[in-house]
């Protein structure tokens, strides 16, 4: 069980729903009968304040819970580890049903829909701290042999093709090398930082687990590090699909990022 905002929503939904239901079944009929005996019109019967609040907030909280748990959830990007795809301060929508419907709090899959694909940008729960969410690009599928040597990435013995584009001229990391990586059927941009020591790696992804890397290859704490490691399937939250706002002072907002799809 994960005690996060989803837990608060579930608890609030249950609390308001139970209060409303108990009043409707046990106490409201008594109020109506007493008012009728005194000749008071039904429209003039006052509900207890707690019941009034519960009845008003229950449907709103329930709708938010359903949307956030099964459809889309907003997240804020807190670092530059996914540059240039995502910037610090980007607010994104994550598709919660791309890889199946999961129960909130318990995170148990109840409906299988799709499978993660190499190259997807995915939000997942950190295996060693499930209350913490990370966002990285899926590089290694279960059973893949992943090798990282400097700026070279190999999957099952084949080098992933990278085309150098030139000097990155975006937000932050002046002088970084910009490249286009052809990961499976996906083309996306990555950054390499001059002077940074590369994090080499050589492992086989276990069954039921995934290997993730940040697009800012030399400035990303990802599956190459012990603190993250392989991510089990049950920790996947959803697929990042679109940027809906960027707000990171002093440059905020960056208007041309609003509405951009995440590739």
Please report whether residue 263 resides in a domain.
no
141 and 39 co-located in one domain: no
Catalytic residue among 69, 98, 136, 223: 136
Averaged pLDDT, 156-181 = 92
Same domain as 213, residue 180: yes
What pLDDT is recorded for position 106?
84
Check whether residue 43 and residue 157 sit in a common domain: no
* Spatial distance between the Cα atoms of 20 and 45, rounded to a whole number of angstroms: 16
Q: Does the annotation count 81 as an active-site position?
A: yes
Do 141 and 50 have their domain in common? no
Instruction: List the domain range (segments joined by +) for residue 16.
Output: 5-71
Look up the pTM and report it: 0.91
* Whether 139 and 55 share a structural domain: no
Residue at 262 is within a domain: no
- Look at residues 71, 99, 123 and tell me which one is the last residue of a structural domain: 71
- Domain termination residue (choose one: 26, 56, 71): 71
Is 38 annotated as catalytic? no
Contact 124, 137 (CB under 8 A): no
pLDDT 10s digits, 88-113? 999 999 999 999 999 998 888 999 99
Do 118 and 23 belong to one domain?
A: no
Question: Any long-range contacts for 229-234 (C-beta under 8 Å, 24+ apart)?
Answer: 229/127, 229/128, 230/127, 230/205, 230/206, 231/124, 231/127, 232/127, 232/208, 233/208, 233/209, 234/107, 234/108, 234/109
Catalytic residue among 69, 81, 98, 220: 81
Q: Are residues 60 and 91 in the same domain?
A: no
95 and 168 co-located in one domain: yes
pLDDT of residue 1: 64
Question: Which residue, 29, 48, 71, sits at the end of a domain?
Answer: 71
């Amino acid at each position: 069980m994960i005690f996060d905002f989803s837990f608060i929503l579930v608890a609030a939904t249950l609390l308001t729903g139970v209060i409303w239901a108990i009043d409707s079944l046990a106490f409201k009929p008594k109020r109506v009968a007493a008012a009728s005996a005194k000749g008071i019109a039904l429209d003039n019967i006052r509900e207890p304040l707690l019941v009034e609040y519960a009845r008003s907030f229950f449907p709103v909280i329930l709708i938010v819970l359903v949307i956030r748990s099964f459809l889309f959830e907003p997240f804020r990007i807190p670092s530059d580890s996914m540059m240039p795809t995502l910037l610090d301060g980007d607010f994104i929508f994550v598709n919660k049903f791309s890889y199946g419907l999961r129960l909130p709090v318990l995170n148990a899959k109840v409906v299988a829909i799709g499978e993660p694909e190499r190259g997807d940008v995915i939000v997942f729960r950190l295996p060693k701290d499930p209350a913490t969410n990370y966002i990285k690009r899926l590089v290694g599928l279960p059973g893949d042999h992943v090798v990282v040597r400097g700026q070279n990435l190999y999957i099952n013995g084949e080098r992933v093709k990278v085309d150098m584009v030139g000097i990155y001229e975006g937000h932050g990391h002046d002088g970084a090398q910009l490249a286009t990586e052809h990961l499976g059927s996906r083309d996306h941009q990555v950054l390499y930082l001059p002077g940074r020591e590369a994090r080499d790696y050589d492992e086989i992804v276990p069954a039921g687990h995934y290997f993730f890397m940040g697009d800012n290859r030399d400035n990303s704490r990802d599956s190459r590090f012990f603190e993250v490691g392989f991510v089990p399937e049950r920790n996947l939250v959803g697929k990042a699909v679109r940027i809906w706002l960027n707000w990171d002072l002093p440059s905020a907002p960056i208007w041309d990022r609003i509405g951009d799809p995440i590739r």
